[in-house]
Amino acid sequence: MNAQYIHDWKFRLLWPVIQGFLVYVLLLMVFDNVVELLGNFVNTEMYLCMILSFLLNEIIRLWIWLFNRYLPSQIDGTRFVIQTLGSLVCVVLIIGGSLSAYFIYLIGYRWGGFDTELMAFLSIFAVFTLLFNAIHLSIVLLNSQNTQKIKQEELLRQNLDFQVQTFKNNINPTFFYESMEQFLILLYRDHKLADKFIYHLSERYRYVLENRQEELKPLDQELPTLESLAFLFNHQYDHSIKIDNQIGPVDTEHLVVTNTLATVVELLTRKTIISKERPLRIRCYIDDTDDYLVFEANLNERFVKSEEMEDRADMLVRAYEYFTSKPFVNVKAGEQTFIKIPLLRVQAA
């Protein structure tokens, strides 16, 4: 049930009628058994109870609206106490003031001559108000818990989508087919070199398959992929790719999204015109000031961009957005391009 039901016009019209009738019946029962049935307490007073119920509920509705506006996320015992006390103050002011005017100016009672009746009214309206607040806050709390569960399920769904997409991206068919074509060329040219090529290719895909369920990997376990990729790509681009690994000893707490290094190197390779005259030089190092893994490369951009690689790059950016608020940076400065990857750490529970 939605907690906004109190603002629905049907509820605002029907509930005061029901509450007013119940208050009237309870008052008749109380004064018939405790004091005496008021001689002039006829059907007019039933309409009075309904009007008072309508005024009281409108003021309480306004109070709850203001409360939700300025404290929308606070759902705890403090909220229950403050909201309930505010509602009881509304009972005293609205019901007490209205009944006092009714008894003095319409019925003709003197001040203090209707204390018993006033206390009965206030007590019954206070009980209804307490029940109303308890039910309303229970619905608010239930809605809050349901919203949290929906958010958790959405996060689980996103996590599942992330794992599936990551696995699909890791098994890169374009890279695989190009590598196999290069292997066939080497097979006719140099058997030993072909064996070495297929060894690096198998190492690459063994790593992908063994870690397909892993979302994050220590950086030191990702680094060996640079050597394999450099070897594989250099046979395709006539040994015109140079990877200068300046990372050095790595903190074992530094984590990256699985297959990050391979994706970045392939991204730089696919978007650059590579030749012996203008080789691709990639320098990778760690920026300790901001905890970033940096790839710096000379960029001679192709005229036609690979949509497949653009999609993989976007997927990699979204993966890091999923794990950290630190931005994934990809900027150009002159003829150089910089890709800065935030290094992740596992927070202790």
Q: Quick one: CA torsion of 306, 311, 313, 317, rounded to 10 degrees?
A: 160
Whole-angstrom Cα distance, residue 280 to residue 297?
7
* Residue 266: CA count within 13 A, CB half-sphere: 27
Q: Same domain, yes or no, for 148 and 175? A: no
Whole-angstrom Cα distance, residue 34 to residue 53?
24
Q: Same domain, yes or no, for 277 and 140? A: no
Residue written as tokens 């609206």? 65
Q: Same domain, yes or no, for 175 and 159? A: no
CATH number (domain holding residue 224): 3.30.565
Q: Same domain, yes or no, for 156 and 290? A: no
3-state secondary structure of 25: helix
pLDDT of residue 349: 43
pLDDT of residue 35: 43
Q: Same domain, yes or no, for 152 and 186? A: no
Longest dimension (CA), the chain: 117
Whole-angstrom Cα distance, residue 309 to residue 331?
17
Between the CA of residue 130 and those of 81, 90, 91, 133, 139, what are the distances in Å? 11, 12, 10, 5, 14
Q: What is the phi/psi pair of residue 51, to 5°?
A: -65, -45
Does residue 77 belong to any structural domain of this protein? yes
Convert 62-110 into a string of H (helix), E (strand) and C (coil). Answer: HHHHHHHHHCCCCCCHHHHHHHHHHHHHHHHHHHHHHHHHHHHHHHCCC
3-state secondary structure of 189: helix
pLDDT of residue 38: 46
pLDDT of residue 76: 61
Q: Same domain, yes or no, for 19 and 136? A: yes
Query: How many domains does the structure of the chain reveal?
Result: 2
Residue-wise DSSP of 107-137: I-PPTTTTHHHHHHHHHHHHHHHHHHHHHHH
Per-residue pLDDT of the chain (349 residues), as tens digits, is 555 666 677 877 788 888 888 887 777 777 664 444 444 444 677 777 888 888 888 888 887 777 777 765 556 667 777 777 877 888 888 888 887 887 777 777 777 767 777 788 888 888 888 888 777 777 777 877 888 888 888 887 777 676 656 655 566 778 888 888 888 888 888 888 888 888 888 888 888 888 877 888 888 888 888 888 888 888 888 888 888 888 877 766 788 888 888 888 888 888 888 888 888 899 998 888 888 999 999 878 887 777 777 888 888 888 888 888 888 888 888 888 999 999 988 764 4
Q: Is the dihedral of CA 156, 158, 159, 163 positive or negative?
A: positive
Does residue 347 belong to any structural domain of this protein? no
pLDDT of residue 294: 92
Which residue range(s) make up the domain with 233?
171-342
Whole-angstrom Cα distance, residue 146 to residue 140?
10
pLDDT of residue 340: 92
| Cα–Cα nearest to 308, from 129, 172, 153, 200 | 172
Does residue 348 belong to any structural domain of this protein? no
**Are the CB atoms for 276 and 238 separated by under 8 Å?**
yes
